[in-house]
């Protein structure tokens, strides 16, 4: 189920009031629909949306005014807040030393089928680890954090270890950016240590002199059970890019119509970031 919050072309009100401008900026935030960005999806035989917040320019740029406001399951992008919560509650004390023992169930991604730390689990997007983390956090604490983070629609219905995979949690690209920017700045209602460690374990991709910290997610595939057929899905990639002193926070989701589209998420996000001058 997809719910629509609002189109990016309309005034965004309080949501973007939390996006702090660069120190020198006093002008109002700029909201720009840059339709040419959509070509990067069509050139790859798919459809999607890309939204970016250029911090130094105090500008939000989107490929469209419709899909950018559609809320969908976060899938494995929820590993980002789940990591903050795990570290803040002490469910995980050390992202490199606390070990989650593999339960012996063979899953469809070979890298999942071994013991994991928090750092290795987020790198290979091991769903079973984060499901165990969520169970240890528990429903009451999880709801308090999701509410405090103002994450998406804040609805964790559908099971404590499934609400972000097949349950009731929904988030749109603009809300993803709002959350990520607060994590990037370390202003979430959680300890600075938990936020700093989460920033540190995010997968890194280097492009020239730029560094991209990001997390992917695949709706439908992240929730795949042993023996199930992989069906068409929607793929996320969210994060931020640092290039010198400039920072751009971004969120992309796109239809996964064939095998190459999973890897194409990083290609397309880099193309979009390059077009807006962030790479």
CATH number at residue 144: 3.40.710.10
DSSP 175-191: HHHHHHHHHHHT-SSS-
> What is the C-alpha to C-alpha distance for residues 171 and 111, in angstroms, rounded to an integer?
28
**Exposure letters 92-112 (e unless 16+ CB within 10 A, then b):** beebeeeebebeeeebeeeeb
Give the tens place of pLDDT for each residue, 68-101: 999 999 999 999 999 999 999 999 999 999 999 9
Give the tens place of pLDDT for each residue, 198-233: 999 999 999 999 999 999 999 975 555 555 555 559
Percent of the chain residues topping a pLDDT of 70:
86
Instruction: Using CA atoms of 230, 231, 232, 236 in order, give the dihedral in degrees to the nearest 10.
Output: -50
Alpha helices in 68-217 (DSSP H): 79-89, 118-124, 127-137, 139-148, 173-185, 192-201
Collapsing DSSP states into helix, strand and coil, what is residue 220?
coil
> What is the C-alpha to C-alpha distance for residues 199 and 207, in angstroms, rounded to an integer?
18
Q: Domain range spanning residue 64?
A: 3-275
Per-residue pLDDT, 12: 42
Given a cut of 70, is residue 14 above it in pLDDT?
A: no
The pLDDT of 174-192, averaged and rounded, is 97
Per-residue pLDDT, 2: 31
Per-residue pLDDT, 11: 37
Token duo for residue 11: 């005034």
Catalytic residue among 68, 76, 120, 233: 76
Token duo for residue 249: 């926070």
> What angle in degrees, to the nearest 10, is found between the helix axes of 192-201 and 79-89?
140
- Please state the separation of Cα 111 from the chain's center in Å: 21
Least trusted range by pLDDT, from 53-57, 241-245, 255-259: 255-259
Give the tens place of pLDDT for each residue, 127-173: 999 999 999 999 999 999 999 999 999 999 999 999 999 999 999 99
Per-residue pLDDT, 10: 36
17 given a catalytic annotation: no
Q: Which residues contact 263 (CB under 8 A, 6 or more apart)?
A: none
Given a cut of 60, is residue 261 above it in pLDDT?
A: yes
Residue 245 DSSP one-character state: T
Residue whose structure tokens are 């079973």 = 128
DSSP 155-170: ---S-TTTTTTTSS--
Q: Give the confidence band of 4 by pLDDT, cuts at 50, 70, 90.
A: very low
Total domains present in the chain: 1
The pLDDT of 248-263, averaged and rounded, is 92
Instruction: Using CA atoms of 155, 254, 175, 26 in order, give the dihedral in degrees to the nearest 10.
Output: 180
């Amino acid at each position: 189920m997809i719910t629509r919050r609002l189109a990016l072309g309309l005034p965004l009100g309080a949501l973007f009031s939390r996006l702090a401008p660069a120190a020198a900026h006093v002008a109002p935030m700029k909201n720009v629909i840059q339709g040419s960005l959509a070509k990067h999806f069509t050139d790859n035989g798919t459809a999607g949306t890309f939204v970016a917040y250029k911090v130094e320019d105090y500008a939000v740029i989107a490929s469209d005014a419709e899909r950018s406001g559609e809320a969908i399951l976060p899938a494995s992008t929820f590993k980002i807040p789940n990591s903050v919560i795990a570290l803040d509650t002490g469910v995980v004390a050390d992202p490199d030393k606390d070990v989650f023992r593999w339960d012996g169930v063979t899953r469809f991604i070979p890298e999942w089928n071994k013991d994991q730390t928090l750092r290795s689990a987020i790198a290979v997007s091991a769903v079973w680890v984060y499901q165990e983390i969520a169970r240890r956090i528990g429903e009451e604490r999880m709801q308090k954090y999701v509410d405090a983070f103002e994450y998406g629609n804040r609805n964790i219905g559908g099971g404590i270890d499934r609400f972000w995979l097949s349950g009731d949690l929904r988030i749109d690209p603009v809300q993803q950016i709002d959350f990520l920017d607060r994590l990037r700045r370390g202003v979430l209602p959680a300890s600075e240590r938990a936020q700093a460690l989460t920033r540190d374990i995010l997968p890194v991709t280097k492009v020239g002199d730029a560094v991209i910290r990001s997390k992917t997610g695949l709706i439908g595939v992240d929730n795949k059970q042993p023996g199930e057929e992989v069906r068409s899905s929607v793929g996320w990639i969210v994060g931020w890019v640092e290039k010198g002193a400039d920072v751009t926070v971004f969120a992309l989701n796109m239809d996964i119509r064939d095998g190459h589209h999973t890897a194409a998420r990083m290609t397309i996000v880099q193309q979009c970031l390059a077009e807006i001058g962030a790479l």
